[in-house]
Amino acid sequence: MFEKEITENLSLLLSERKFSEIKEILKEFNEVDIAEILAELKEEDAVKIFRIIPKEPAAEIFASMDSDLQESVISAITDRELHNILNELFVDDTVDLLEEMPANMVNRILKHTDPDTRKSINQLLRYPEDSAGSLMNTEFIDLKKEMTVKGALVHIRRFGDSVEDISTFYVTEKDRVLIGTLSLKDIILASEDTLISDIMDERIVFCHTGDDKEEVAAMFTKYGLLAMPVVDTENRIVGIITVDDAVTVIEEETTEDFEIMAAVTPSEDSYLKTGVFRHFANRIPWLMILMLSAAITGAIIDSFESRLSSLGFLIGFIPMLMNTGGNCGSQTSILIIRCLALGELKGLDVLKAWFKEIRISLLCGVSLALVNFIRIFIMKYYFGGGEFALSLVIDMALTVSISLLITVIFAKTIGCLLPVGAKKLGFDPAIMASPFITTIVDSLSLLIYFNVAQIIFNV
Amino acid sequence: MFEKEITENLSLLLSERKFSEIKEILKEFNEVDIAEILAELKEEDAVKIFRIIPKEPAAEIFASMDSDLQESVISAITDRELHNILNELFVDDTVDLLEEMPANMVNRILKHTDPDTRKSINQLLRYPEDSAGSLMNTEFIDLKKEMTVKGALVHIRRFGDSVEDISTFYVTEKDRVLIGTLSLKDIILASEDTLISDIMDERIVFCHTGDDKEEVAAMFTKYGLLAMPVVDTENRIVGIITVDDAVTVIEEETTEDFEIMAAVTPSEDSYLKTGVFRHFANRIPWLMILMLSAAITGAIIDSFESRLSSLGFLIGFIPMLMNTGGNCGSQTSILIIRCLALGELKGLDVLKAWFKEIRISLLCGVSLALVNFIRIFIMKYYFGGGEFALSLVIDMALTVSISLLITVIFAKTIGCLLPVGAKKLGFDPAIMASPFITTIVDSLSLLIYFNVAQIIFNV
């Protein structure tokens, strides 16, 4: 990769103390790319190079670095340098930083932020982790409805540099009560003496500080927003959320869904950053619970064993039956979980989905049972070497195929209703995915199989 | 829900022909919400109400409707109304529309778009479905580097209304070769006589028309972009992609990963929109393949049955062993698949991940084996009612626990390497998730179990 050449080159230039050449090279790169290049260097070199970078891009590069490198940088730089970086950081980035740093660093960082920012930081840290409040930025531009476009532009030019997003402006009344929004595009395209009240949009798409951040992120997708105002209970604007934060939430929540479906306790860190023991701790409780609950299937087999001991040839079909049931159940549950995550199943849609699943399971069940019947017949009769009589093979194939059909119908019903039920009860639907459904479907399929066998073989 | 009241109210007003009241009500709502409200109405009523809506919001509402309702609207409206809507639609929305409509509608729509737009449409329709080209919009504002900020603003005011996004401008040379970008914020904050060349950013984050749209969407997240230019092989800008399209791609690709992991053929339509037969067709091939491949486990059991027939008590442990192996494998595979989707595993990281998984699997395997040993000992010895002698119980517990440990290590190795291998070979890693890994791990765990049993019981 090209990165390797660059990092080697930078290390070499650093050892030769050719600082201006390093600056020249880095000028070609975007801040995010520079953070990535620094991450590839030895920590010591990365910190040295970071300190050469001019003040302005430094803060943005710093915000893009991972927390380990941020910690090393903060330990190495002077109070003055720290002050400069913190001055340039947006409040939400500072809050992210504080959440990752050890206590002694937090104190040093807070000491070097100015009192106003410190107040905003404290306010933001107080919102619950999953709330819209925890996502927001307190820096935005508010306009008044009696301003003209010309006046608004003067205001924007004056304060625009200190805010992250100027795609949207917020029109407020007394006490910061939000009464409208407008975009920079609206302002640019209007004539100079137009009143803000004439071009602002009063149909505001907003959220409250306490709203769930996943739902807020979904609103960005739905309405195609670049920024959204966050208001308190009295409709006063307290901050804004930008689309990049919404995208991050969407990706984090998706990763969480994947983790839960994998029966792993969700963690905030990336896979490679997480240590072996942490991985172990995230996984073992689920494996234990599922292993112990799988003991139920063992008990079912044991309880039928004596009655069915003359029918040993039925045992070989158990894994196929359990797997097919499990696959049918997880097909349905995973699709339903995704629908729930995207907000596609509302109210009575659940019943529609269930009815759909029953019809699908009939089609799938009958097809699978038929193919299975034929397969068993061919394998055990034609290629069975005369071990089994024709009537026995037919009974065998019937037992397995009928059990399969019933199992498929049950599996798809459970796969549909369990995630929905979990959501209704306030749990994460993903918890109900594959592993738990597999355990339930396994037990059910065994009970169905053994009972069908008892009827057909009349034992 | 509040929507129900609104739709009932609208239907009532429509039957009483109180059109101006309907207009008053709809004024309160965002275009996206109006599209949602119309979707809840009877189709006939929805079309009638749509035709009352003023020209300007109508196009945006139309773009937010689902394709069934769009089709009904187009069938009902006059050529003149159609022309008005198409005039207001952005080219990428028109392309989306054309892709969903039946052939006769496509002809009618093309007839009512102006020749320039038609040319853009034909160009966009020619890009492959998964390419950046298929995502882009051909309407954007390009500036020249010798323009002043004042001149640029005049240009923006003149052309800004006809483009979707004016957060970013593109500086081009002769033949539309892209040499820089700048944001509306840069322009607003600069003084009037500043040259565009002085404030433009030459470190452009761009993509090519043929780039994979999933990778392009990931760049939006990485760099926090609002829009990205798309260039051809000669660096000429041909279009832009906006962040809302990128977010849609991210959600679609995630849904596809979920579907593939669920062993369902991915489909473009939403769950409820997809008919029962389509669902059946998406699911049955996978179920068949997996059912038939699960027959391997049956064959393994049958081949050992005669040799192990004296050890019938071992059968009850098979489901637990297979499930635990499957769970361990899918924990790893799902996490690895997510890492691959987020681009977190590059180059040698795969070996790091594998080494990590081996250590995790040792920890998990030993813990599970120990708990399992104790459980079997207690269940079969203390609560076994004297059915089994002490030495037999110990052999039994040893067999199961040792098999479990080996299975867990294999399962996690397979769960790690299979998705990575699939990606290296150019397949979608998600295909290697749970179902296939389960089938492989099931067979392996049986082979391990029966071999361990033969050694310990010396048969």
Which residue's entry shows tokens 């500080």?
A: A209
Report pLDDT for B265: 81
CB contact under 8 A, A324 and B286: no
Q: Which of B323, B363, B367 sits opposite A442 (nearest CB)?
A: B323
State residue A132's pLDDT score.
Answer: 93
Angle at B308 between CA A388 and CA B443, to 5 degrees: 85
Q: In this structure, what are the phi and psi dihedrals at residue A242, rounded to the nearest 5 degrees?
A: -105, 160
- Beta bridge pairs of residue A241: A228
Task: Tell me the one-letter amino acid at A118.
Answer: R
Instruction: Out of A301, A305, A352, name the one closest to residue B272 (CB).
Output: A352
User: How near does any CA of chain B get to the CA of A359, in Å?
Assistant: 7
B375 contacts A259? CB cut-off 8 A: no
DSSP category for residue A328: H
Same fold, A142-261 and A276-457: no
Please state which of the four CATH numbers 3.10.580.10, 3.40.50.300, 3.65.10.10, 3.90.800.10 is assigned to the domain occupying A142-261.
Answer: 3.10.580.10
Q: In what order do the strands lie in the sheet with A142-143?
A: A142-143, A168-172, A178-183
Mutate to test the interface with B, among A226, A434, A440, A450 (most CBs of B within 10 A): A434
Instruction: Determine whether the interchain pair A324/B294 forms a contact, defined as Cβ–Cβ distance below 8 Å.
Output: yes
* C-alpha–C-alpha distance, residues A420 and A415, integer Å: 9
Does the beta-carbon distance from A305 to B288 stay under 8 Å?
A: no
Q: What is the DSSP letter of B41?
A: S
Instruction: For residue A47, give Cα distances in angstroms to A53, B153, B332.
Output: 10, 41, 34
Q: Do B315 and A299 touch (CB under 8 A)?
A: no
Q: Do A335 and B302 touch (CB under 8 A)?
A: no
- Contact between chains at A189 and B160 (C-beta distance less than 8 A): yes
CB pairs under 8 A between A and B: 317
Interatomic CA distance for residues A75 and A5, integer angstroms: 28
Asked if B185 and A205 come within 8 Å (Cβ–Cβ), the reply is no
B323/A291 Cβ within 8 A? yes
Residues in chain A with CB shorter than 8 Å from the CB of B349 are: 272
What is the CA A65 to chain-centroid distance, rounded?
Answer: 21
CA B423 from chain centre, in angstroms, equals 17
Strands (E), A144-185: 168-172, 178-183
Do the Cβ atoms of B367 and A288 come within 8 Å?
yes
Q: Compute the nearest-CA separation of A104 from chain B (Å).
A: 30
Contact status, residue A439 vs residue A294, Cβ threshold 8 Å: yes
Low-confidence ranges of chain A (pLDDT < 50): 1
Question: What does the pLDDT read at residue A345?
Answer: 81
> Hey, what are B165's tokens?
């996004």
pLDDT at residue number B264: 80
Note the pLDDT of residue A1: 43
The CA-based dihedral angle spanning residues B412, B413, B416, B419, taken in that order and rounded to the nearest 10 degrees: -110
Residue B264 with chain A: CB contacts under 8 Å:
331, 334-335
Residues in chain A with CB shorter than 8 Å from the CB of B286 are 327, 331
With CA atoms as reference, the chain A residue closest to B322 would be A319
Contact: B347, A1; criterion CB under 8 Å: yes
> Do B447 and B300 contact (CB within 8 A), yes or no?
yes
Candidates A290, A333, A339; nearest CB to B323 = A290
Nearest to B248 by CA among A122, A74, A342: A342
> Which residues on A lie below 8 Å from B368 (Cβ)?
284, 287-288, 291
Residue B238 C-alpha, separation from nearest chain A C-alpha, in angstroms: 22
- Class of domain B276-457 (CATH, top level): mainly alpha
User: What tokens appear for A180 in the block?
Assistant: 């409208």
Please give the pLDDT value at position B102.
87
What is residue B434's predicted lDDT score, i.e. its pLDDT? Answer: 57
Tell the CATH topology of B2-126.
MgtE N-terminal fold (1.25.60)
Of B297, B313, B356, the CB nearest to A279: B356
Q: Kindly determine whether residue B326 and residue A438, on different chains, have CB atoms separated by under 8 Å.
A: yes
- pLDDT attached to residue A103: 85
**Nearest CB to B280 within list A243, A344, A364:** A364
Run of H or E residues at A429: none
Please answer whether residues B382 and B440 qualify as being in contact, where contact means their C-beta atoms are separated by less than 8 angstroms.
Answer: no
Q: Which helix (H) or strand (E) holds B183?
A: strand B178-183
- How far is the C-alpha of B65 from the C-alpha of B57, rounded, in Å? 13
Instruction: Choose the closest CB to B290 out of A272, A291, A327.
Output: A327
In the predicted model, residues of chain B with pLDDT beneath 70 are 1-3, 431-435
Contact B30 A305 (CB under 8 A): no
Q: Looking at beta carbons, which residues of chain B come within 8 Å of A298?
A: 316-317, 319-320
Identity of the residue in B283, B299, B353 whose CB atom sits nearest the CB atom of A331: B283
Domain B142-259 top-level CATH class: alpha beta
Contacts of B258 in chain A (CB under 8 A): 334-335, 337-338
CA distance A162 to chain B (A): 11
Place of tokens 């459970």: A414
- Of A293, A290, A265, which is closest to residue A280 (Cα–Cα)? A265
> Which is it for strands B227-231 and B207-208: parallel, antiparallel or unpaired?
parallel
Rounded CA-CA distance A338/B169 in Å is 37
> Is the complex ipTM more than 0.95?
no
Report the residue from B203, B322, B367 with minimal CB separation from A30: B203
- Residue A183's alpha-carbon distances to A61, A166, A188, B35, in angstroms, are 28, 8, 9, 22
CA distance A312 to chain B (A): 8
A271 and B345 in contact by Cβ < 8 A? yes
Per-domain residue ranges for chain B? 2-126, 142-259, 276-457
Measured between CB atoms, which of A276, A338, A356 is closest to B255? A338
Measure CB to CB from residue A188 to each of B156, B322, B371 and give the nearest one. B156
Question: What is the enclosing helix (H) or strand (E) of B12?
Answer: helix B2-15
Six-digit token string for A28: 């070609």
Q: What is the pLDDT of residue B414?
A: 92
The minimum CA-CA distance between B79 and chain A, rounded to whole Å, is 29
Please give the sequence-ordered ranges of beta strands (E in DSSP) within A237-320, or none if there are none: 237-242
Dihedral class, residue B426 (left if φ above 0, else alpha if ψ from -120 to 50, else beta): left
Angle between helices B349-376 and B318-341 (to 10 degrees): 160
To the nearest whole Å, the CA of B104 is away from the closest chain A CA by 30
